[in-house]
Amino acid sequence: MLPRSRTLPARINHGEVEERHDVKHYFQVDVQPKHQKETEPINIQTNYSKCFDDDGRLKRTGTFWTATSHIITAVIGSGVLSLAWAIGQLGWVAGPAVMILFAFVILYTSNLLSQCYRTGDPANGPRNHTYTEAVKGILGGKKVKVCGLIQYLNLFGVAIGYTIAASVSMLAIKRSNCFHKSHRRDPCHMSSNGYMIAFGVIEILFSQIPDFDQVWWLSIVAAIMSFTYSTVGLVLGIAKVAENKSFKGSLTGISIGTVTYVGTVTSTQKLWRSLQALGAIAFAYSFSIILIEIQDTIKSPPAEHKTMKKASMLSIGVTTIFYLLCGCMGYAAFGDDAPGNLLTGFGFFDPYWLLDIANAAIVIHLIGAYQVYCQPLFAFVEKWSAKKWSNSNFVTAEHGIRIPLFGVYQLNFFRVIWRTIFVILTTIIAMLLPFFNDVVGLLGALGFWPLTVYFPIEMYIKQKKIGRWTNQWIGLQMLSAACLFVSIAAAVGSIAGVVLDLKTYKPFNTTY
Amino acid at 451: L
Residue 13 lies in a domain: no
pLDDT-derived band of residue 219, with 50, 70 and 90 as boundaries? low
pLDDT at 176: 75
pLDDT, mean of residues 186-207 = 81
The rounded percent of the chain whose pLDDT value lies above 70 is 76
Please say if the pLDDT value at position 374 is more than 70: yes
CATH number of the domain where residue 294 is located: 1.20.1740
Q: What does the H/E/C string look like for 176-241?
A: HHHHHHCCCCCCCCCECHHHHHHHHHHHHHHCCCCCHHHCHHHHHHHHHHHHHHHHHHHHHHHHHH
- pLDDT, tens digit (0-9, with 9 covering 90-100), for 455-480: 899 989 988 888 888 999 999 999 99
d(CA 394, CA 33): 40
Residue 21 lies in a domain: no
Please say if the pLDDT value at position 343 is more than 70: no
The rounded percent of the chain whose pLDDT value lies above 90 is 5
Residue 7 lies in a domain: no
pLDDT at 2: 37
pLDDT at 239: 83
pLDDT, mean of residues 188-209 = 83
Residue 511 lies in a domain: no
pLDDT, mean of residues 98-103 = 90
How are the residues of the chain apportioned to helix, strand and coil, as percentages rounded to the nearest 5? Answer: 65, 5, 30
Taking alpha carbons only, the member of 382, 407, 379 closest to residue 397 is 382
Q: Is the pTM of this model over 0.85?
A: no
Residue 352 lies in a domain: yes
**Which of 137-151, 185-199, 369-383 is predicted least confidently?**
185-199
Which residues on neighbouring strands pair with residue 260, listed in sequence order? Answer: 263
CA atoms within 13 A on the CB side of 160: 24
CA dihedral for 352, 440, 117, 19, sign (positive or negative):
negative
pLDDT at 7: 46
d(CA 72, CA 95): 22
pLDDT-derived band of residue 126, with 50, 70 and 90 as boundaries? confident
pLDDT at 9: 43
Taking alpha carbons only, the member of 53, 51, 48 closest to residue 20 is 48
Residue 78 lies in a domain: yes
Please say if the pLDDT value at position 482 is more than 70: yes
Which residues on neighbouring strands pair with residue 298, listed in sequence order? Answer: 62
Residue 37 lies in a domain: no
d(CA 456, CA 76): 22
pLDDT-derived band of residue 186, with 50, 70 and 90 as boundaries? low
Residue 443 lies in a domain: yes
Please say if the pLDDT value at position 251 is more than 80: yes
φ, ψ of residue 57 in degrees (nearest 5): -100, 160
d(CA 336, CA 339): 9
3-state secondary structure of 422: helix
- pLDDT, tens digit (0-9, with 9 covering 90-100), for 30-89: 444 444 444 445 444 445 456 777 666 777 777 888 888 778 776 666 567 778 888 988
Number of structural domains found in the chain? 1
Provide the 10 A C-beta neighbour count for residue 384.
11
CA dihedral for 209, 213, 214, 216, sign (positive or negative):
positive
- Of 204 and 402, the structure prediction assigns the larger pLDDT to 204
> What range defines the domain where residue 168 resides?
63-503
φ, ψ of residue 155 in degrees (nearest 5): -65, -40
CB-neighbour burial class of residue 38 (10 A; exposed 0-12, middle 13-18, buried 19+):
exposed
Amino acid at 193: N
3-state secondary structure of 140: coil
d(CA 400, CA 353): 44
